[in-house]
Amino acid sequence: MKREGSRFTVTEVNKVIENWEKIAIKKGGKIELKRSVFSDRGILEQVTNYKRKDVVYNCLLFFDIYIPHKRNRIKIASSEVKTPMLSYKLDSPKQFNFSIRYEDFIDKVSKYLGQNEVQVNNREFDSKFFIETNEPKLLKEFLDMKIRGWLEKTKIVYFDYNSPKSKNALAIYCLFNEMDEDEIERNINMFKYCITRLMDITMR
């Protein structure tokens, strides 16, 4: 049974932390654990300092993983509450930016009403994702077959570069099985591949 407010059971969260710790050590990085305590007291009770004997407190874990890569480091933020977000600070002389997310109903209506959307000329990929960028040519070059295949297999909330959500950074907010050490490593390695490809395109 999952802990209240958590994505995991106690056994699962211990396994997830163990996996992230192994990955961090293996890749020369580190993991930082934080705890947040929540109570079932309402806001009004907290403000007025109203005391209840039956107050229930719940402690949830948040973990940040830092992995060195090239001249910077990848930050992975995960927790019992939210799925992982991988980010990497990357300044570029080019003002290139993009945002990729799953196409929802609103996006489909917007497209039907005439909103322009970038297409990468891959029918399956274009039908799944809503893409925005200021440099369509650079984005199409960046989204090679390997990256497109990874995004199609990964449940993403967004994949952004230099957008309002990820200023001067490449970031992906996604869902994968954190109880599978190999799957964690595959996603980190793919994110590294994306960083390298983006640097090759933006720094030349």
CB 129 within 8 A of CB 101: yes
- 10 Å CB burial of residue 136 (0-12, 13-18, 19+) is middle
- Tell me what the mean pLDDT of segment 100-127 comes to: 73
Helix (H, G, I), strand (E, B) or coil at 107: helix
> In angstroms, rounded to a whole number, what is the distance separating the alpha carbons of residues 58 and 37?
6
Domain ranges for the chain: 1-82, 83-204
Work out whether the CA dihedral 87, 194, 140, 101 comes out positive or negative: negative
pTM for the model stands at 0.85
Residues 76-112 pLDDT 10s: 999 999 999 999 998 877 789 999 998 776 666 666 5
Residues 10-49 pLDDT 10s: 999 999 999 999 999 999 999 999 988 765 555 444 445 5
Strand partners, 37: 59
> In angstroms, rounded to a whole number, what is the distance separating the alpha carbons of residues 119 and 103?
13
> In angstroms, rounded to a whole number, what is the distance separating the alpha carbons of residues 187 and 86?
9
